[in-house]
Amino acid sequence: MFLVSLSALLLTGKFFQKNAEQRSIAMSVVSMKMEEYLAKSYAGLQETTVPLTGVENGIAWTVWVEKKEECPNGCKVESATRIPYKVITVTASYDDLSSRGKKQKKEVRLVNMVPYPYIHIASYVSSPETLPVPPTVPFNNNGIVTKKPFYDVGLNYDQLLPLLMKKGYVDESLHVPPSFNTLDDEFKSWFAVTTYDTEGIPQTSYTLTDAQFTAIENILKDTRNPTNPINFQNIQNAALTINYPVGKHLLIVYNISTKINTFTNIQSNNTILTGIFINGVNISVITRTPIVLQPLISNVVGVDLQDLAAKGIIPSNNGTYLVELRWNKDTPSGVITAPEYNFMILAVEEIGTGG
Amino acid sequence: MASAFLTLTTISIFFINHTSINEDRAHIHLMINYAFEDMKLRCISARKLADSSVFASTGTSLPEFTFEGEKDMYAITPEDNSDNIWYAYRIDKDNNLVLEEKPTALDAATKKEILIDKKYKPAIQFEYIPGTEPNFLKVTISAEGKKLDNKAASDRITKSDGIRFWFINVVL
């Protein structure tokens, strides 16, 4: 009886060993496939509509990649913050044999999550092969009137613009005529407020101060200044569109090599100006590089994107931002080109903003 | 009496034989798993490949893999190469699957660890599969054990796993 039981135990043990081996081989297959997919970048992990399948060492495997979203503040509202992530599911099926010789299909499954990347890089690098005709540095001194200069000095652009256009200081295309120099008394009278003192004598005051009138004059005259960023123009291909569901800080780096093709009348103090624009608004310090003495322009700009959008400094455009490098020169003289340049954005996740 | 003794002896031999088979195959699985774990831990911080261990993007299979990595695989210091050493996973001249340590890629081994003994006739293959990431390799190890039963197709146990590299690509 004892010996019969022992034999039965041994035979059962044989099936356990076989099944354990199959399970072990199946586990190594799912482990291998999981490693293969975890080696991919977030963008490189393509979501699957049908599972990927294959056979390895006699074990059939399947892989699913799904994109999901997590909403820190709940997903019910249309405008809720949605943080994407991807889920990889790897399954391997193997035959499990019972001691009575019955085959059963069993599975081992590994699931892993790939979070939304903390860092993104976008870049453009020019070369003589991709850009055989290098761009020429423009000279532009006919810029348009924009909101930001008024915002910066506490003036209401939306209220002032119609009045400036009515007076002819700004035309329909938002340009300032070259003849403009000062705001006249008639224009200033539109801001006059008449009050009466205790003796009934009228007193005139203005809703804008002299300093504010001067600021308006300077803003309008400045549109014709080539060093004003509104006169900067795009550099070919140095524009990258970014759209991240998670708030990011940006580090923007650019390098431009310049070549003087025509030297006529370029002075030693003439400069090339560059600046970063996001959704059409200049957000960075303007660099000025001497044309004659410095054939390389390099700059690094840090940007708190969410802060700029929250303050209304740049239009949000549903979280899509066009980041551009623009330039201008402060002299109409000479012809300068950029044989090579590069433009890179490093976007790093914000910390401590609560999503 | 004699027949009882004979029966007992037969069953004992049967018992010992199957225990031996189970033990043998379980041991092979353990050794292969250990080899994979060692590779995963050691290769992840690899800093440089030997010229003979670079793979083509069209897909290559190599019987050995030599690279420079951390001497202490738990202390990863990518900014400091002075604490690095060269490793090689290969079948040596005695047909053992070994992990060798050496001062440079071309030097002889100063230290050797046998991962799978020659008695199990181990084989190893490092493979880059086109379409996978350039920092990912598939490794297949096989070893010969006792047959689980006479119906078994082969007495070789073959397992594959993947290894990732943080700092380098393995593809030219």
Nearest residue to A24 via CA among A59, A64, A62 = A59
Q: Which residue has the higher pLDDT, A220 or B17?
A: A220
Q: In which band, very low, low, confident or very high, does the pLDDT at A355 lie, cut at 50, 70 and 90?
A: very low
Q: What is the distance between the alpha carbons of residues B122 and B142, in angstroms, rounded to a whole number?
A: 6
Q: What is the distance between the alpha carbons of residues A167 and A179, in angstroms, rounded to a whole number?
A: 13
pLDDT surpasses 60 at A352: no
pLDDT digits (tens, 9 = 90+) for A260-281: 999 999 999 999 999 999 998 8
Question: Which residues of B are less than 8 Å from A56 in CB distance?
Answer: 160
Task: Count other Cβ atoms within 10 Å, centred on residue B90.
Answer: 18
> Maximum CA pair distance of chain B?
77
What is residue B17's three-state secondary structure? helix
Least confident of A161-165, A211-215, A249-253, B23-27: B23-27
Contact of A33 with chain B, judged by CB distance below 8 Å, is answered with yes
- Determine the pLDDT at residue A278: 93
Q: What is the distance between the alpha carbons of residues A253 and A123, in angstroms, rounded to a whole number?
A: 9
User: Tokens in use for A75?
Assistant: 């997903």
pLDDT surpasses 50 at B76: yes
User: Tokens in use for A68?
Assistant: 């999901």
Residue of A nearest to B159 (CA): A25
Bridge partners, A327 (sequence order): A233, A274
pLDDT surpasses 70 at B14: yes
Mean residue pLDDT across chain B: 91
pLDDT surpasses 50 at A353: no
Could you say which DSSP state residue A176 is in?
Answer: P
- For residues A113-133, one letter each, b for 16 or more C-beta atoms within 10 angstroms of the residue's C-beta and e for the rest, the string is ebebeeebeeebebeeeebee
Q: In which band, very low, low, confident or very high, does the pLDDT at A246 lie, cut at 50, 70 and 90?
A: confident
pLDDT surpasses 80 at B113: yes
- Determine the pLDDT at residue A11: 66
Of the candidates A3, A28, A32, which has its C-beta nearest B11's C-beta? A3
- Determine the pLDDT at residue A308: 85
Nearest residue to A343 via CA among A242, A217, A209, A199 = A242
pLDDT surpasses 80 at A341: yes
Contact of A200 with chain B, judged by CB distance below 8 Å, is answered with no
Question: Which residues of B are less than 8 Å from A38 in CB distance?
Answer: 164
Report which secondary-structure segment, H or E, holds B67.
strand B65-70
Of the candidates A7, A38, A57, which has its C-beta nearest B158's C-beta? A57
User: Tokens in use for A172?
Assistant: 């329909």
User: Tokens in use for B158?
Assistant: 């073959």
Q: Which residue has the higher pLDDT, A333 or A78?
A: A333
Q: In which band, very low, low, confident or very high, does the pLDDT at A245 lie, cut at 50, 70 and 90?
A: confident
pLDDT surpasses 60 at A354: no
Q: In which band, very low, low, confident or very high, does the pLDDT at B5 lie, cut at 50, 70 and 90?
A: confident
pLDDT digits (tens, 9 = 90+) for A276-321: 999 988 888 889 999 999 999 999 999 988 888 888 778 777 788 9
ipTM of the prediction:
0.85
Q: What is the distance between the alpha carbons of residues A320 and A342, in angstroms, rounded to a whole number?
A: 22
The answer to whether the beta carbons of residues A251 and A300 sit under 8 Å apart is yes
Bridge partners, A97 (sequence order): A103
Q: In which band, very low, low, confident or very high, does the pLDDT at B146 lie, cut at 50, 70 and 90?
A: confident
Whether residues B160 and A28 touch (CB distance < 8 A) is answered with: yes
Q: Look at chain A and count its residues.
A: 355
Q: In which band, very low, low, confident or very high, does the pLDDT at A7 lie, cut at 50, 70 and 90?
A: low
First-to-last C-alpha distance (Å) of chain B: 74
pLDDT surpasses 70 at A10: no
Which of B161, B164, B166 to substitute to test the interface with A, most A CBs within 10 Å?
B161
Q: What is the distance between the alpha carbons of residues A238 and A351, in angstroms, rounded to a whole number?
A: 28
Q: What is the distance between the alpha carbons of residues A157 and A149, in angstroms, rounded to a whole number?
A: 9
- Determine the pLDDT at residue B92: 94
The alpha helices in chain B, defined as continuous H runs, are 2-43
How many pairs of residues across A and B have Cβ atoms under 8 Å apart? 72
First-to-last C-alpha distance (Å) of chain A: 70
Contact of A36 with chain B, judged by CB distance below 8 Å, is answered with yes
Whether residues A35 and B15 touch (CB distance < 8 A) is answered with: no
pLDDT surpasses 70 at A1: no
pLDDT digits (tens, 9 = 90+) for A12-44: 667 777 888 889 999 999 999 999 999 998 988
Task: Confirm whether pTM is higher than 0.80.
Answer: no
pLDDT, average across residues B40-44: 94
- B172 contact partners, CB below 8 Å, separation of at least 6: B54, B55, B56, B57
Report which secondary-structure segment, H or E, holds A92.
strand A83-97
Bridge partners, B125 (sequence order): B140
Least confident of A175-184, B38-47, B55-64, B151-160: B151-160
Contact of A44 with chain B, judged by CB distance below 8 Å, is answered with yes
Q: What is the distance between the alpha carbons of residues B150 and B156, in angstroms, rounded to a whole number?
A: 13
Least confident of A34-43, A207-216, B14-23, B136-145: B14-23
Least confident of A35-39, A156-160, B6-10: B6-10
